[in-house]
Structure formats: structure tokens, C-alpha cells
Structure 1
Amino acid sequence: MTEGVLLAITAGVMLGLYALPEKFTNGFTYENTWSLFFLLTMFVVPIVASVLLIDGFGQIFGEMPAELWLKMGLASFLWGIGVMMWSKAINHIGLSLGFSIFIGTVIFIGSLIPFAVDGLPDTESLILILIGILVVLFGVILKGKAGLIREKDEALANINNLTVDTKGSMATGILIAVIGGLLATGFSYANAVGRPYLHEASQAQGNADWVTAVAVMFPIFISGGVVMAAYFGYHLSKKKAWSAFKTPSFSKNFILILIMAVFHYAASALFAFAAFKLGESGNTVGYAIYNTSCVVTAILSGVITKEWISASPKSKKLLYAGVACMVIGIVVIAMGN
């Protein structure tokens, strides 16, 4: 139990930090940065990691039932759309709030999905887990309110000729994050439905327990990457942004984006292993812990990088209250396990 919780928290911290290097890229448009990121994190890193780390890679996936490929593929395709929308939300409303709204939605819906696959735990545990999820949801609502107030604060700052980076409509960004979060719960379903077979198949090849997490990530990331490749290929051509890859800062940008890709992939794989360690309710409990840790980390990163520098005290209080609710919720969910 303790090991699983610590693994889930570590994975969440890694996910919360993954987008931070994006703030330091130069000469890239939104399409350049995120297309390269998704190419690396959805295809290059998973393929290299899977081939190198999984003994019997070809046999495991060659014998995987077509029905399971279909279930994981469709769910992961939806997850891919959701993650793509997440990147748009970050571009609209910043790192801290984009993470908060998106991940909060993922926790609320994604933590319930495994119950449909794995079955319900005992009544007392179920009640505690549901209470914890509702507390997390309340925290998300508080942070959404904080974001709307921050937008008004920044508009006022602009009127007073202060320098503020306004990326887009706060309401639009919040809506994108919520819809993206709903779609991204496909990850939770794909992990829950694919793990039993892939764990057994991996064990049969003599792999260690943790290798199952790498195996589960392979079909999820490859399937999720398809929609992103199509989306960014279209927009790079439409906006004639391919030439921006020729920037003198390409080498620096590539390293920063590769770090993003490795952190993003490793966080997901570590979560899958944490869910295994947490036992019967691991997909639900681990998912909530993982994503809440991610949000707290992202918010701290956003505060450190001055995303909330022009926000009023009221807005910041709501933000911190929302974070507190998510932390309390995660403790209640862990107790439920």
C-alpha cells in the first residue's frame, strides 16, 4: 500500500513537471513545439522503451487478442484527443490552471471507470473513495472560479498598462480543459482492460512485475498518437509552420522537448505500476493520487513562473483552497483503499 502510494505520487510529480520546459523554447510556434513533443512521447520513446525493456515483445503483442487491441485502441484514441486538447488549454489559460481543470475532470470521471471493469470494492471502501472524489471535484470548481477571477484581474492590469501575458479566453480554455479531461479518461479504461492479459503474457516471458507497466503503455501511446500525428500534420501545413523548425534554437528546443516527452511517458508507465501495487482498487485510487499530485506540482510550477503575478488575493486564496481540497480528497481516497 505505502509503496504504491509513493509511486503514484512520484509519477504525479513527474507529470506535473513535464510541460515546464515548454516555457523556455524559442522560435517555435505552438504547432512546432507540441507536434515534436507528441512525436517523441507517443512513438519514439514508447517504441524504444518497449523493444529494449520487454522480453518477448513480438510474441506478447503478436498474440494479443484482436478484441483487446480494439478496446484499448479506441479508448486510447479518445485519450489522445483529450491530451491534445489539454495542450490547447495550457496555451489558453496557463500551466497551473490548465492542469487543474483538466486533471480534476480526469480524476472525477477516470477514477470511476475502473469500477465498471474491475467491479466494486466493499461498501465502506466505496463510500470513502466516492467522498474523496467529490472533495477533489469541489477543489476543481474552486480553482475554476480562481481562474475566472484571475482573468478579470489581468484585464484590469492591462487597462493600467501593466505587462501581462494573456493567452486567450479563460472561459474557452476552461471548456477545452473539461472536454479534454472527459475524453482523456480513455487512458484509465485502456489501462484497466488491458493490464490483466498483458501482465499474464509478460510474466509468461519471464519479465519482472514492473515491465507490465511498459507493456500496457505501448498500445495506449501508439493508438493515442495517431490522432495527434494527423492533427498536427494538418495544422503545420495549414499555417506553413514547417519552416519554423529551422530556427537556430532547434537543438536547444529539441532537448527541452525530449525531456518533456521522457517525463510524460515515464510518469504514465510509473502510474501503471503504482496501480498494480495498490491492489484491487489500484486503478481508481492510484489514478486519483497520481493526478492530484500532478495538479499540485503544476500549480506550484505556475506560481513560481509568475503565471499568477497579477492575480488578486481573492483569486489566489481560491486557488490554494482548491489545492487543499484536492490534497484532502487524495487522503480520503487512500484511506478508502
Structure 2
Amino acid sequence: MSFFIGVVLVAFGGVLEGLFSIPVTKVKSWEFENIWGVGSLLALLLLPWPLASYYVGDLAQLYAPIPNPVFIGVIVSGIAWGIGGIYWGRAIAALGMALGVSILMGLINVFGSIVPLTVFEPAKLFTLGGYILILAIAIMIFGVIIISRAGQKREQALQIEDNKATTHRFKKSFKAGILFCLISGILSAAVNFAFIFGSPITTQASHMEVPDYATSFAVWSLVFTANFSINTIYGFYMMLKKGTLKNLGKGRFSREWLGALFMGLAWPGGIIVYGIGANAMGPYGAYAGFPMMILASILAGNLAGALGGEWRNSGSRPQSTMLVGVLVLCLAFSLLGYSTYMMNK
């Protein structure tokens, strides 16, 4: 039952991660830097330290026996994730929710699951569970390739024959978005390294009788501080540089700020829920649970993109290709859950 609940929580965390950047494509009177800077600031203030302080109590006592290299690994991972987050937002703005989330999460999966398993638990790669994990990730990559192909078909369908300037801008945006995806995919995978590096902190939290579902909060408070501080600084720096700080008081105030609030809760909230679920899945939950979260993010991002009209007027072929890619990803999700079960045996 605990394993099943862990799978459900990992999937729900993935849904939140797949949807948190919706406001980037929906707000009208704010620029990218407005929604990203305010959303990141709210993410920094609302969840990490309040949760850790409430559930752990004496954080200084918890952190005291932890070796410095653990803190360094966790914080550096958070910084890398923070830089990747900036490019994440740029990729979503350039490619849209469906295609952007699919490519981003596929890249993050490769660097965030197989690489840490190879580094920290290499022997597990050569077990039945490890082989199934590799197979599942290979299927997942194949699904992402199919989805990327669907995006290319959509690009071709939406090109405007009689407007060269519009077509040129669309192509330029697509190429830039792919580059942003690559950078973000490599750096954002560091969030799972942070979870693995921080295992001594969660162990110490268990010794202090912190509830099992909350032992990771003391790790996330450090990771989120590094990540969201970078994104907040970047967002407000760009507002000052571009003169868009005044936008914060412009337009439909409630819609823009509600979007930032949703981003500020869903972005860290998804990772927190994932951490709880990965713990419940057992000692190898972080290795297979991470790509499961990624898959749930891709599916949620594609659903949001479809409901938001991103594939409207693209024709039946791109849409059917995208559907095939989504079905392949569902198969990979099932195999990932089974691989975790086998590695825990």
C-alpha cells in the first residue's frame, strides 16, 4: 500500500510540475520576466522554510552533524536547477506548453535518473529491475522523439505561406526553444541529484522522529532557496533592465497575480510531493520515481496545451502523432513503476 501511495504521489507531483508554468503562456499584460520573477519570489517565501520549520522544529540541531560536502552538493544542485529554471521558462515561452514540457522533461529524465543510478548505485543497473528501468527510459525517449516530430509537423502546418516575416519568426522561435530545452534539461536534472545528495539530512530527520513524509523538507528548504533566489534575482533584474517593473500594477491585477501565486505554489509543491512519494516507494524510489514524475509532467503539459488551443488548426496528422507519443509514454510509466518494485525486492 505504501508503494502504491508513493506512485500516486509521484504522479501528482509530476502533474504540478507539468502545469506550474501555465501562467507564462497565459498572462497578457505582464512580460515573461514579470511572471517569472514574482512567481519565483512567492515560491521562495511560501513553502520551503515554513514547512521545514513547522515539521522539523529545530533545524539548527538537525543540520549540525551533517558533513559540509553534503551541504555543498545540495546547494550546488539547487543553483544548477535554478539556472535551468530560467531556460525552462524561456523554452515554454518559445515552444508552448505541450511541446516545451515534453522535450524538457524527456531531457531531464535522462540526466536525472540513469546518471545518478550509475554514480550512486551502479550494481543495480545489472539487475532485472535495472534492465527494466533502462528499457523504460529507452521507450520514454522514443516517445519524446515522436512528440518532437509531432511538434515539427505542427510547425509546418502553422506556417503562413503569404507572410514570410511571420514564418521566419516562428522558425527562429522554434530553434531557440530547442536550444533552451537542451540547456534546461541538463541543468534542471540537478534537482534529483540534490534529493540523493541530501539523503544524510533525511536520515538525520528520521532520527529526530520527524514524520517520514516530512523528512525531505529540510533538504528542499536548502535546494529551493538556491533555485528560487536565482530565478527571483533574474526576473527582477530583467524587469529593471527592460523597464517592465511598472507592469506589476498594470492590467487585470487579480489574474496576473493569481497566476504568479499558482506558479509559486505548484513549482515547489510538485517537488515536495514527489519527495514524499519517492520516499514511500522505498530506497530506490528516487531513481525510478523521478522519471515517473517526469512522465506525469509531460502528460499534464500536453493536456494543458491541448485544452489551451496550442494544437488548434494544426491538422489531424500532428495531433494523431502526438497521441501516439503520449501512449508510448504511458507504457514507459508502467514499466518504471515495475522497475522500482523489482529493485526494492
Q: Same fold (TM over 0.5)?
A: yes
Segment drifting more, 228-237 vs 319-328: 228-237
The residue aligned with 1:278 is: 281
1:63: Cα distance to partner?
Answer: 4.4
The residue aligned with 1:244 is: 247
Alignment check: 8 A CA contact 1:93 1:167 kept: no
Alignment check: 8 A CA contact 1:55 1:206 kept: no
Q: Is structure 2 residue 206 aligned with structure 1 residue 207?
A: no
1:249: Cα distance to partner?
Answer: 2.7
Q: Is structure 2 residue 266 aligned with structure 1 residue 263?
A: yes
User: Counterparts of 2:123 and 2:236 in 1: how far apart (Å)?
Assistant: 42
Q: 2:82 aligns with which of 80, 83, 96?
A: 80
User: Counterparts of 2:79 and 2:162 in 1: how far apart (Å)?
Assistant: 40
List per-residue Cα deviations over 1:216-251 (Å, max 9, x = no partner): 211111111233233223211210111111215334
User: Counterparts of 1:41 and 1:316 in 2: how far apart (Å)?
Assistant: 34
User: Counterparts of 1:18 and 1:167 in 2: how far apart (Å)?
Assistant: 26
SS of equivalent residue, structure 1 residue 112: helix
The residue aligned with 1:30 is: 32
Alignment check: 8 A CA contact 1:144 1:174 kept: no
Q: Return the letter of the residue paired with 2:306.
A: V
Alignment check: 8 A CA contact 2:196 2:286 kept: yes
Alignment check: 8 A CA contact 2:97 2:302 kept: yes
List per-residue Cα deviations over 1:274-312 (Å, max 9, x = no partner): 111111321111001111011101101100110000212
User: Counterparts of 2:176 and 2:268 in 1: how far apart (Å)?
Assistant: 28
1:192: Cα distance to partner?
Answer: 0.7
- Percent identity between the aligned chains? 23
Q: Is structure 2 residue 144 aligned with structure 1 residue 140?
A: yes
Q: TM-score when scaled to structure 1?
A: 0.92
Alignment check: 8 A CA contact 2:24 2:89 kept: no
Q: 1:306 aligns with which of 284, 306, 309?
A: 309
User: Counterparts of 2:121 and 2:187 in 1: how far apart (Å)?
Assistant: 20
SS of equivalent residue, structure 1 residue 210: helix
Q: From the superposition, tell whether residues 204 and 123 of structure 1 become closer, same or farther in structure 2 (CA, over 3 Å).
A: closer
Alignment check: 8 A CA contact 1:236 1:242 kept: yes
The residue aligned with 1:186 is: 190
The residue aligned with 1:324 is: 327
Query: Which ranges in structure 1 are unaligned for 5 or more consecutive residues?
Result: none
User: Counterparts of 2:174 and 2:295 in 1: how far apart (Å)?
Assistant: 22
User: Counterparts of 2:262 and 2:292 in 1: how far apart (Å)?
Assistant: 23
Q: Return the letter of the residue paired with 2:141.
A: L
Q: Which structure 2 residues correspond to residues 47-66 of structure 1 after superposition, within 5 A?
A: 47-66=49-68
User: Counterparts of 1:191 and 1:46 in 2: how far apart (Å)?
Assistant: 14
Q: TM-score when scaled to structure 2?
A: 0.90
Alignment check: 8 A CA contact 1:99 1:298 kept: yes
The residue aligned with 1:173 is: 177
User: Counterparts of 2:232 and 2:25 in 1: how far apart (Å)?
Assistant: 22
User: Counterparts of 1:87 and 1:241 in 2: how far apart (Å)?
Assistant: 17
1:157: Cα distance to partner?
Answer: 7.2
Q: From the superposition, tell whether residues 38 and 62 of structure 1 become closer, same or farther in structure 2 (CA, over 3 Å).
A: farther
SS of equivalent residue, structure 1 residue 111: helix
List per-residue Cα deviations over 1:77-127 (Å, max 9, x = no partner): 111111111110000010111100000111122111331124432521111
1:159: Cα distance to partner?
Answer: 4.9
Alignment check: 8 A CA contact 1:214 1:269 kept: yes
Q: Return the letter of the residue paired with 2:230.
A: V
Q: Is structure 2 residue 157 aligned with structure 1 residue 156?
A: no
Query: Which ranges in structure 2 are unaligned for 5 or more consecutive residues?
Result: 341-345
Q: From the superposition, tell whether residues 71 and 92 of structure 1 become closer, same or farther in structure 2 (CA, over 3 Å).
A: same
The residue aligned with 1:129 is: 133
The residue aligned with 1:110 is: 112
User: Counterparts of 1:276 and 1:40 in 2: how far apart (Å)?
Assistant: 26
User: Counterparts of 2:261 and 2:14 in 1: how far apart (Å)?
Assistant: 18
1:142: Cα distance to partner?
Answer: 1.2
User: Counterparts of 2:55 and 2:338 in 1: how far apart (Å)?
Assistant: 34
Q: From the superposition, tell whether residues 177 and 158 of structure 1 become closer, same or farther in structure 2 (CA, over 3 Å).
A: farther
1:255: Cα distance to partner?
Answer: 2.3
Q: Return the letter of the residue paired with 1:292.
A: L
Segment drifting more, 165-174 vs 145-154: 165-174
Q: Return the letter of the residue paired with 2:336.
A: I
The residue aligned with 2:237 is: 234
The residue aligned with 2:343 is: none
User: Counterparts of 1:203 and 1:80 in 2: how far apart (Å)?
Assistant: 28
1:68: Cα distance to partner?
Answer: 1.1
Alignment check: 8 A CA contact 2:23 2:35 kept: no
List per-residue Cα deviations over 1:192-226 (Å, max 9, x = no partner): 1102x112221233210011122221111111123
- When the two chains are superposed, the root-mean-square deviation of aligned CA atoms in Å is 2.2
1:174: Cα distance to partner?
Answer: 1.7
> Following superposition, which runs of at least 4 residues in structure 1 exceed 6 angstroms of deviation?
none
1:19: Cα distance to partner?
Answer: 2.3
Q: From the superposition, tell whether residues 158 and 110 of structure 1 become closer, same or farther in structure 2 (CA, over 3 Å).
A: farther
1:334: Cα distance to partner?
Answer: 1.6
